[in-house]
Amino acid sequence: MERAQFQKNPDPNLQVILTAALGLLRTPGALTPEIDGGIQRRNQIQRMFFSPLEDFLINETLPIRQEARINRNMLNRVWKWLGRDLMPDDFQTVLEQAGNTKVSGERVAALVQALRTRSVDAVGEALHRCEVSDTQRRRMGIELGGERGIAELRDIQKIFSAERWLVPFLQNIPERINEQRLKRDTDVLRLVDKCSYRFPDHVSVIAAALVDRADAPAALCSFAGRLAGDDDPKAIEKSQFAPFVDVVMSEAERLQILALEHCKNNPDPVAFSQALLEYHSLVRGVERDMDLSVSGKWHKRLAETKRSLSNVVTTELNNAHGAVRKALQVPKFDQAGKLQIDQEAIDDAVRTLRVVNMVRNASETFAVNEVGKRTRQAVEQTLEIVTRSQISDLGKARGRQLQAHLAAADVAIMLSEIYFGSEYANQLRRSRQAAVAKARKLTASVQGNPERKLVAHALGSR
């Protein structure tokens, strides 16, 4: 969470959550310098064992596997395979020591480090056996999830084997790397250049670590040109630094998957538009810094992600007008007299308005110029007309209908603020306050005059 707060467009609630988490962690007696409890400590061994992989883990399964970008789900598979089939005695010894509260935390950490070091040779031998034996390869594939799982195991072994120099190298790299550091400054450039010269087989590993720390991952394309001494995409593609552009393409694919996942399964009305914004920022940066038309491989990968998201965004825009109209309807009361707020419809409208707003400046990225214009025109007219109408009706409402119209007006103002901005929304709020005051004054006058009360009741029952 501490690292995430320095990224672009952090979650607005992140600071609140982080503050609460730090408060719990720093509560006296909550934690001690030692790892408390045998069972708790045993459960932490897996995390300690895989700790050098933190910069390389992703949650998405990429369409084209990128070296050193390891799916987090692989860790459980590898852990079980190592502990059951490859190094059962070593694992059992470490777990027993971890479960013994008399053994210090420092001693347990040293045992885990030694276990990880021994695993490098053990995994290397297992990978060699599967290269020369189809039977061994099939068995390993069954345990690890096929050829992709074997390839990710090879990446894990490669990172573990480089731990002696890789960890100090990453400690010298800033936790967050801004765009200027990648495009103009020389501190990170010198470190990467030196490491790439000494360990040319690990350029992909270095690139994967940097994309995780970069504020603007697209800047790695320019960074690759600086390393190669030529910003021509063809020259970069033929150089040893091509993995820095490969990893940017993989990041575009990851953001595409993330956006699609948010669109289909995440009820958070903000997540989808945020993922689209991150994807657009990446694509805009790549296309600004590199002419991909001369590089068939990279151009094709980026074009495929754009095509996929364009279809989804087009569908979202086509449904935007209907989603907004549905959310603007005045809620009704059920038989028990409770106001039925359609929160799902409101969330859908919030999501679609955020998407409409976001693609206003990203129509070329998502190829939605025409549908974007039509959608904005329809949404603007609907929001303006219906919101003004609801505020007007609010001033005439009485009784419990005042509650219903007030809820509808509040939704309309919220949606207007998302689309038109806070200044326009503040004008609407002032009109709303005046309408509420008018409605309450009318209600009070009716209650004080029996004849008007009968007329109002008759009118309200129509």
**8 A C-beta contact, residue 32 and residue 26:** no
Q: For residues 32 and 30, give the distance between their C-alpha atoms in angstroms, rounded to a whole number.
A: 7
Judge whether residue 37 has pLDDT over 90: no
What is the torsion angle, in degrees rounded to the nearest 10, for the CA atoms of residue 448, residue 449, residue 450 and residue 456?
-100
Q: Give the three-state DSSP class for 341.
A: coil
pLDDT value at 32 more than 80: no
Q: Mean pLDDT across the chain, nearest whole number?
A: 89
pLDDT of 287: 94
Answer for the pair 206, 195: CB distance below 8 angstroms, yes or no. yes
Residue 59: burial class (beta carbons within 10 Å; 0-12, 13-18, 19+): exposed
Alpha carbon distance 16, 104 (integer Å)? 34
pLDDT class for 168, splitting at 50, 70, 90? very high
Structure tokens given for 436: 């509420």
Dist CA 120 CA 117 (whole Å): 6
Residue with tokens 């296309």: 287
Encoded tokens for 94: 């470490």
In this prediction, residues 329-338 reach a mean pLDDT of 91
Q: What does the pLDDT look like over 391-404, one tens digit per residue?
A: 999 888 888 888 99
- Residue in 399, 462, 402 with CA at minimum distance from that of residue 432: 402
Consecutive H or E run containing 57: strand 57-58
Q: In the structure, what pLDDT confidence band is assigned to residue 208 with cuts at 50, 70 and 90?
A: very high
Rg (C-alpha) for the chain, rounded Å, is 29
- At residue 450 the predicted structure's pLDDT band, cuts being 50, 70 and 90, is low
Output the pLDDT for position 79.
Answer: 96
Q: How far apart are the first and last CA of the chain?
A: 57
Contact (CB, 8 A) for 355 and 348: no
Give the single-character DSSP code of 184.
T
Pairing mode, if any, of strands 70-71 and 332-333?
Answer: unpaired
Inform me whether the pLDDT recorded for 448 exceeds 80: no
Task: Output the pLDDT for position 29.
Answer: 41
8 Å CB contact between 264 and 250: no
What number is the average pLDDT over the span 92-101? 90
Residue 14's pLDDT is what? 65
Average pLDDT of 291-304?
Answer: 91
pTM: 0.84
Helix then strand then coil, in percent of the chain rounded to 5, is: 75, 0, 20
DSSP string, 63-104: SS--TT-EETTHHHHHHHHIIIII-HHHHHHHHHHHH-TTS-
Q: How many CA atoms lie within 13 A of 246 on its CB side?
A: 23
In this prediction, residue 36 has a pLDDT band, given cuts at 50, 70 and 90, of: very low
Q: What is the DSSP string of 392-403?
A: HHHTT--THHHH
* 214 three-class SS: strand
Measured CA to CA, the distance from residue 353 to residue 311 in angstroms comes to 17
pLDDT of amino acid 26? 45
